[in-house]
Amino acid sequence: MPQPPSASQPSAEIGVIGGSGFYSFLDDVHEVEVDTPFGRPSDTLTIGELAGRRVAFVPRHGRDHRYPPHKIPYRANLWALRSLGVRQIVAPSAVGSLTPDHGPGTLAVPNQLVDRTSGRAQTFYDEGGAVHLSFADPYCPIGRQVAVSTARRAGWPPVDGGTLVVIEGPRFSTRAESQWYAAQGWTLIGMTGHPEAVLARELALCYIPVCLVTDLDAGIEEGEGVTMEEVFRVFAENIGRLRPLVADMIKSLPTDRACPCPHSLDGMKLPLDLP
């Protein structure tokens, strides 16, 4: 099995992939440059302390939001986190809603994923033989339980379950697309939840989505449709609640993983050595 980081290398046990609003929730922080076989991560990683846990943070789009969703170096981000010792990842993101029941400000912890992207690199195992992993349940079950129970205790009852459909972006959906997604029974729509989740599974990591609804998608209500300004505004209005919620989640995550995630690579002949 892969070895943990050496004593001289900075390390962390939990990773957070999110926006710039999460820099300030860590104590005693320092920055770490990480190179990977898949290029550089979105930005310099920040490692710090939170309630006695070592946490590594990577800004998904870069600090200056320079990477659009289809250009994010997903493989480098996940590889870099694992190389620092991370084994559990909390992934907050802004999403749209495909049902009027989940309006802006709703917190959701989906349990299913549909990929509607195109052209994104979504595996580490491009050469040397196929690696077929189970992905029937894309998210860590214990991590999801922690997210749901933590949100309930915080007085922000989440939507427990549902399907996140991930589109290519960077454009938003047409009304027809939005209505078609909703007709399939899918409940949330975003641009970054894939391939993050599948890449985490390929590294035997726990991946825990925490979705903040910022808008109703174009086909769900009348009006001009989704705008970037609206998404940023609603996210900014809720970051003060989301940041401490993620911090409480991190405190509550188990130190020993009893979920299936650590065993996702058991029995596999991998064509490359993992960090």
What is the third-level CATH fold of 14-263? Rossmann fold (3.40.50)
Mean pLDDT of the chain: 92
Of these residues, 28, 217, 256, 273, which one is catalytic? 217
3-state helix, strand, coil in the chain (%, to 5): 30, 25, 50
**Residue 260 burial by Cβ neighbours in a 10 Å radius (0-12, 13-18, 19+):** middle
Distance CA 148, CA 143 (A): 9
In this prediction, residue 9 carries a pLDDT of 67
Q: Which residues contact 45 (CB under 8 A, 6 or more apart)?
A: 31, 32, 33, 34, 56, 57, 58, 80, 81, 84
Of 48, 42, 40, 4, the closest CA to residue 23 belongs to 48
Distance CA 251, CA 248 (A): 5
pLDDT at 259 over 50: yes
| 217 in catalytic set | yes
Tokens found for residue 26? 């860590």
CB of 218 closer than 8 Å to CB of 173 = yes
Of 211, 28, 199, the closest CA to residue 109 belongs to 211
| 126 in catalytic set | no
Residue 4 pLDDT grade (very low, low, confident, very high; cuts 50, 70, 90)? very low
Tokens found for residue 131? 């690696």
Which pLDDT tens digit goes with each residue over 7-41? 456 799 999 999 766 766 777 788 999 999 999 99
DSSP state of 20: G
- The whole-number average pLDDT for the span 204-232 is 89
The three-point CA angle 189-261-44 to 5° equals 65
Distance CA 267, CA 84 (A): 24
Of these residues, 64, 215, 256, 273, which one is catalytic? 215
In this prediction, residue 1 carries a pLDDT of 33
In this prediction, residue 151 carries a pLDDT of 98
